[in-house]
Structure 1
Amino acid sequence: MGTLALDATTKAAPLKIKINRRGWAVLVGIPVFALTVAAAFSVAMFFNSAQASSAAPQGQEFVEVTVIPGDTLWDLAREHAGEHDIYSAMQYISEINSIEYGAIQAGDTLQIPVLD
């Protein structure tokens, strides 16, 4: 087996990295793309005119219902939907009352639209 003698006076040459055209495209392109997307979202966020309304639709009648233990959003929608689709009524009730994931608790007061 051979041995390798290291000379203490020899310095290691600095590592030289060569980047080809594709490497430069990746090295520069990805950050530029990410910054462009971030800028587009920022501009869209500040200049977007779409806004959620906190007011109920005009001309719509509502019944105020206090949730009791055992009530579910499905049950309330089924009770007040009349001839309408129960799932659509659930979505509408959730939207009007800002309910996320259909989570209601006993004691909550909900505005239920009167659907004809």
Structure 2
Amino acid sequence: MAHATLDSNRTAAPMKIRINRRGWAVLVGVPVFILTVAAAFLFTMLTSSAQASSQLPQGVPTVGVTVVPGDSLWSLAGEYAAGSDISAAVEHIAELNDLATSEIRVGDTLQIPVLSR
């Protein structure tokens, strides 16, 4: 059996760390790289020329129409979208008024886009 003996006269010396050239490159290079990327990101965010518009978007003018007996989406689209594609106008009217079907009732008020008059 092997025995190890400790020298009682020896004091515990602090361990010295030696860093080679690659260690210094990592120790200094990684933080420098991270700071460079962060600075570039911050610079681009602060100097960005993208801005929100201060003007309201201009949409298609609409007119409120109360449905009377005999009206349909097709007849209203034909009247207010003269010269345009009637089926596209019907889809636009349905979308503007949140209509799930093409069914409308007498007394309903619909917003109709005025494409040409």
- Give the TM-score taking structure 1 as reference length: 0.49
Task: State which structure, 1 or 2, has the greater radius of gyration over its C-alpha atoms.
Answer: 2
- Give the TM-score taking structure 2 as reference length: 0.48
